[in-house]
């Protein structure tokens, strides 16, 4: 009797991001060299995709300068075949044009794209920290109660159409049920092509919550809207990271971990590296008798253009 092939689970690792600040963990990579080192470590631990933001190496401020992206992308690609995924989210304080530039100029295999404008509440984090390393950090979080992360239909279409000639596919980030319908709208208009890589995000204040019923609702809605035309992955913010990843693996989905989304590797225990979280979620996946996808298997599943067709 022949055995059925095991389900391959794609692990995405978000290396560093605009959500967290350097003070929140001493282990967050800031410079291009640090970001490259952590991305390579995550890939060696089992990540098939690394999701990448850039920071000003002097003060850790989020930046979208393509020169920084090219610097760490070149280093990563020289030592790993991992799929590189550039943010077009950047930070909510940036213009759409600024956010687009790394993906537009460097043509990665994958880029992230948020499917809607939203309140993005980071201000509850302020009370958890007393010592701030840089002057910009505390106000950046405090002022999020009056800031909207802008992603209009026009903005989304502009990014999708600008990158079409590059054949860059998108990690379509959906923070709420309505974002799934927005993705379906662009699929119906043939502005995006299947398979859609849907990243459902749970636990951000302003988006859908982290309750198991929320996860189930996201999956049921995506199944109904996209059928076989999508690949599902999840991102649980903070303490929700591993529980929601485990739910996704059980439900046949894929997972995203990394220091952008959570600085923890257990209750009260800071993750020393991104690889720590990859190893932890990999142990969950393999305990379920599932297999972790390699970068080339992820390329096949997501129908990517291949690493030889990028601009770095």
Q: Which of 90, 101, 12, 92 is nearest to 51 (CA)?
A: 12
Where do the H-state alpha helices sit in 51-174? 66-79, 96-106, 137-142, 153-162
2 belongs to a structural domain = no
pLDDT at position 127? 85
Do residues 70 and 107 lie in contact, with contact meaning Cβ atoms separated by under 8 Å? no
pTM score: 0.96
pLDDT at position 132? 84
86 belongs to a structural domain = yes
Kindly state the tokens that stand for 204: 């951000």
Kindly state the tokens that stand for 69: 């992206």
197 belongs to a structural domain = yes
- CATH number of the domain to which 75 belongs: 3.20.20.70
Which residues, listed in sequence order, are joined to residue 303 by a DSSP beta bridge? none
53 belongs to a structural domain = yes
pLDDT at position 229? 98
Which stretches of the chain score pLDDT less than 70?
1-5, 19-22
160 belongs to a structural domain = yes
Kindly state the tokens that stand for 220: 């049921």
Do residues 162 and 100 lie in contact, with contact meaning Cβ atoms separated by under 8 Å? yes
Do residues 48 and 293 lie in contact, with contact meaning Cβ atoms separated by under 8 Å? yes
pLDDT at position 5? 62
Helix (H, G, I), strand (E, B) or coil at 215: helix
pLDDT at position 278? 98
Helix (H, G, I), strand (E, B) or coil at 303: coil
CA 196 to CA 301: how far, in whole Å? 11
213 belongs to a structural domain = yes
pLDDT at position 36? 98
Do residues 118 and 175 lie in contact, with contact meaning Cβ atoms separated by under 8 Å? yes
Do residues 176 and 90 lie in contact, with contact meaning Cβ atoms separated by under 8 Å? no
First and final C-alpha spacing in the chain: 47
**82 DSSP 8-state letter:** P
Do residues 48 and 11 lie in contact, with contact meaning Cβ atoms separated by under 8 Å? yes
| Number of other residues whose CB lies within 10 A of the CB of residue 5 | 7
Q: Which of 299, 294, 283, 162 is nearest to 231 (CA)?
A: 299
Collect all residues with Cβ–Cβ distance below 8 Å to 107 and sequence separation of at least 6: 163, 166, 167, 168, 309, 310, 311
CA distances (Å), origin 19, targets 45, 242, 256, 295, 307: 24, 18, 15, 26, 28
Which residues, listed in sequence order, are joined to residue 86 by a DSSP beta bridge? 52, 111
230 belongs to a structural domain = yes
310 belongs to a structural domain = no
Residue 132 belongs to domain spanning: 8-305
Number of domains in the chain: 1
């Amino acid at each position: 009797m022949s055995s059925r092939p095991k389900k391959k689970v794609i692990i995405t690792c978000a290396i560093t991001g605009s959500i967290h600040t350097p003070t929140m963990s001493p282990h967050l990579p800031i410079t291009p060299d640090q970001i490259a080192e952590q991305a390579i470590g995550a890939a060696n631990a089992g990540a098939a995709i690394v999701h990448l933001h850039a920071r000003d190496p002097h003060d850790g401020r989020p930046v979208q300068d393509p020169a920084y992206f090219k610097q760490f992308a070149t280093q990563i690609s020289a030592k790993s075949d991992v799929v590189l995924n550039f943010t077009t989210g950047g930070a909510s304080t940036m213009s759409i044009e600024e956010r687009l530039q790394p993906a537009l100029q460097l043509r990665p295999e994958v880029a992230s794209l948020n499917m809607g404008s939203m309140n993005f509440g980071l201000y509850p984090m302020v009370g958890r920290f007393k010592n701030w390393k840089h002057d910009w950090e505390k106000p950046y979080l405090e002022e999020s109660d009056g800031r909207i992360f802008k992603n209009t239909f026009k903005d989304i279409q502009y990014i999708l159409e600008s990158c079409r000639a590059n054949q860059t596919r998108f990690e379509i980030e959906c923070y709420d049920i309505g974002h799934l319908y927005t993705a379906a709208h662009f699929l119906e208009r043939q502005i995006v092509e299947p398979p859609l890589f849907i990243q459902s995000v749970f636990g951000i204040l302003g988006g859908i919550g982290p309750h198991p019923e929320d996860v189930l609702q996201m999956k049921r809605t995506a199944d109904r809207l996209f059928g076989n035309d999508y690949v599902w992955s999840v991102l649980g913010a903070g303490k929700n990271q591993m529980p929601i990843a485990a739910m996704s693996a059980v439900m046949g989905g894929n997972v995203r971990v990394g220091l952008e989304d959570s600085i923890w590797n257990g209750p009260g225990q800071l993750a020393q590296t991104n690889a720590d979280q990859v190893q932890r979620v990999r142990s969950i996946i393999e305990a379920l008798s599932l297999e972790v996808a390699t970068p080339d298997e992820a390329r096949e599943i997501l129908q990517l253009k291949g690493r030889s067709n990028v601009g770095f």
